[in-house]
Structure 1
Amino acid sequence: MLSLTKPLNRPIRDWNEQRVWIIGASSGIGEALSKALLDRGAQVVLSARRIERLQNLASSYPKAIALAMDVGDQGSWEHALAELKNQIDRIDLVIFCAAKYHPERSWELVPEETEHTLSVNLLSVYQGIQSVLPGMLERGHGGIGVVASVAGYLGLPNATVYGPSKAALINLTELLYSDLHTKNINVYLINPGFVSTELTAKNNFFMPALQTPAQAAAAIIAGFEAGDFEIHFPKRFTLFLKFMQVLPYRLRFALIRKFVTA
């Protein structure tokens, strides 16, 4: 019988036994999430391009491993996995946090910027999944967390490339869950609202329900521990956007025009 109350994923009860790989751990949500999981006793592999930041963070935690990599380079994934085999016996949970964002309207597109954004936000997740999933399937255990965004819920101005890349991640993560939930692999779709990071600092508009990276990390961990599939926050903002999703386009576009200036 279909249950509407049973968690879609297995709740994580004890972080002390978890080995977590965070992609994009040098700043923002990834950095805050790394600290929060390390504080809870998890062993955390910290990956990003900025090795100095990773090493500074790892120096405060004996269970942290700093591993520099370029997420957009398939060769970097292969090298990172080879390095990890010498330092850790398995990965229980990989979380894709790396992102690139440049606010732009449709008439401001630059081909090189578009390609780079799609490479970091979307293609790197495919490359990462192709790298880590075989080992999880072989062990019959694992977890994949994908940080998308509420920008993927709707077509919003100023997110001309970022928004579609996150919409694709939402679709991809739903497909991953359908493929993998019967294979003992947890899949998490993480949709933050506005979080105060280096990326959102580029915005020159009011950001409702703005949260700190620490608040975002706490919400994500609560979702892992509850066994949620979609972890979205803050609810007072994300639920409003979910409501907009079901409106007829005429009403939806009218609301967007009301709240977003040209």
Structure 2
Amino acid sequence: MKSLNPPIADWRNLRVWIIGASSGIGAETASQLLAKGARVALSARNAEALQQIAANHPEALKLRLDITLPGTVAAARDSILRQWEGIDLVLIVAGAYHEMRADRFDLKIANQLVDTNLRGVFNCLDATLPTLLRQEKGAIGIVASAAGYSGLPKATVYGPTKAALINLAECLFLDLRPRNIGVYLVNPGFVDTPLTAGNKFKMPALMPAPEAASALIKGMERGDFHLHFPRRFTNWLRLARLLPYHLYFALVRKVTGL
């Protein structure tokens, strides 16, 4: 299959900005890319966690930000450009999760999820797209979720925000790839992270964060557009979404018991 993005053969000295690098997939990806010789900027709200991740890599940049506050994202970008003069890859991993069903809809929490998972990504795009377009090279990756493929129980707000990111990444690819800018859509299934630790239901094919980060990196190295893992779970969801609704709804109820 033809690669939709340029394959990455060597990470050494590539300038990578990971937004949401304090835990989970973001932290593991940062650690693995630092080990591969990339120049990595770590961003998140938790400055102490960033210090711990970069403990053995003093060359890593540590830039605290809150993606819901566009001024903090722009300030971090300015700091990176002062030190690196450019960015080769922006990876937006930051996100929030909260279980919700229709009979317990909470507008405050819903708005918080939208602010982080969707508006926060827009804030990151606003800060980084002008740089990538001016360079006429580089790439941007957006971590959505397999929960965005189709409607699922307990994902009344989380799922729609991730579905929007899938659509967004597809739009970005159509606009940016002709401009020599790569785009990666990342759809993890269940990954063992602080976001999923509170789930009170069985998570099929639960994947350790280091394995998820490795799958993400390998997908970018191949030049894939759509990176999804673990495939024994994500491919099932992708197939299920093609069913007629009466079969899809019946299947989801049977599998989840909800």
Give the TM bin, normalised by the shorter chain: over 0.9
- The answer for the alignment partner of 2:191 in structure 1 is 195
1:7 pairs with one of 3, 9, 14: 3
Q: Is the 8 A contact 1:94 1:145 kept in 2?
A: yes
Q: Is the 8 A contact 2:117 2:161 kept in 1?
A: yes
The CA deviation string for residues 58-114 of structure 1, in whole angstroms up to 9 with x for no partner, is: 221133111000110011112112222332221100011001001111121211111
Q: Distance in 2 between matches of 1:170 and 1:47?
A: 22
Q: Is the 8 A contact 2:102 2:156 kept in 1?
A: yes
1:175 partnered with 2:167: no
- The answer for the alignment partner of 1:112 in structure 2 is 108
- Alignment-mate amino acid for residue 75 of structure 1: G
Q: Is the 8 A contact 1:38 1:63 kept in 2?
A: no
Post-superposition offset of 1:121: 0.5
1:228 pairs with one of 217, 220, 224: 224
Post-superposition offset of 1:260: 1.6
Q: Is the 8 A contact 2:81 2:87 kept in 1?
A: no
The CA deviation string for residues 171-190 of structure 1, in whole angstroms up to 9 with x for no partner, is: 00000000011101000000
Q: Distance in 1 between matches of 2:247 and 2:59?
A: 51
- The answer for the alignment partner of 1:63 in structure 2 is 59
- Alignment-mate amino acid for residue 71 of structure 1: I
* Runs of 5+ unmatched residues, structure 1: none
Q: Is the 8 A contact 2:148 2:164 kept in 1?
A: yes
Q: Distance in 1 between matches of 2:60 and 2:103?
A: 44
1:145 pairs with one of 141, 145, 148: 141
Q: Distance in 2 between matches of 1:76 and 1:128?
A: 10
Taking structure 2 as the reference length, the TM-score comes to: 0.98
Q: Distance in 1 between matches of 2:232 and 2:77?
A: 39
1:161 partnered with 2:149: no
Q: Is the 8 A contact 2:13 2:38 kept in 1?
A: yes
- The answer for the alignment partner of 2:247 in structure 1 is 251
- Alignment-mate amino acid for residue 70 of structure 1: D
Q: Distance in 1 between matches of 2:74 and 2:38?
A: 24
2:204 pairs with one of 184, 208, 212: 208
1:36 partnered with 2:32: yes
Q: Distance in 2 between matches of 1:106 and 1:197?
A: 25
- Alignment-mate amino acid for residue 109 of structure 1: F
The CA deviation string for residues 191-246 of structure 1, in whole angstroms up to 9 with x for no partner, is: 00100011111111111110001000010011011000000011111111111011
Q: Percent identity?
A: 49
2:121 pairs with one of 121, 125, 129: 125
- The answer for the alignment partner of 1:27 in structure 2 is 23
**Count of paired positions:** 258
Comparing 29-38 with 60-69, greater Cα deviation is found at 60-69
1:102 pairs with one of 98, 108, 118: 98
Q: Is the 8 A contact 1:98 1:121 kept in 2?
A: yes
Q: Distance in 2 between matches of 1:80 and 1:147?
A: 20
What is the DSSP-based 3-state SS (H/G/I as helix, E as strand, rest coil) of the residue aligned with 2:62?
A: strand
What is the DSSP-based 3-state SS (H/G/I as helix, E as strand, rest coil) of the residue aligned with 2:133?
A: helix
Q: Is the 8 A contact 1:103 1:202 kept in 2?
A: no
Q: Distance in 1 between matches of 2:220 and 2:74?
A: 27
Q: Is the 8 A contact 2:5 2:224 kept in 1?
A: yes
Aligned CA RMSD, in angstroms, stands at 0.9
- Alignment-mate amino acid for residue 164 of structure 1: P
What is the DSSP-based 3-state SS (H/G/I as helix, E as strand, rest coil) of the residue aligned with 1:21?
A: strand
Runs of 4+ in 1 over 6 A off after TM superposition: none
1:47 pairs with one of 43, 50, 54: 43
The CA deviation string for residues 31-62 of structure 1, in whole angstroms up to 9 with x for no partner, is: 01100110111011000000011012122113
- The answer for the alignment partner of 1:83 in structure 2 is 79
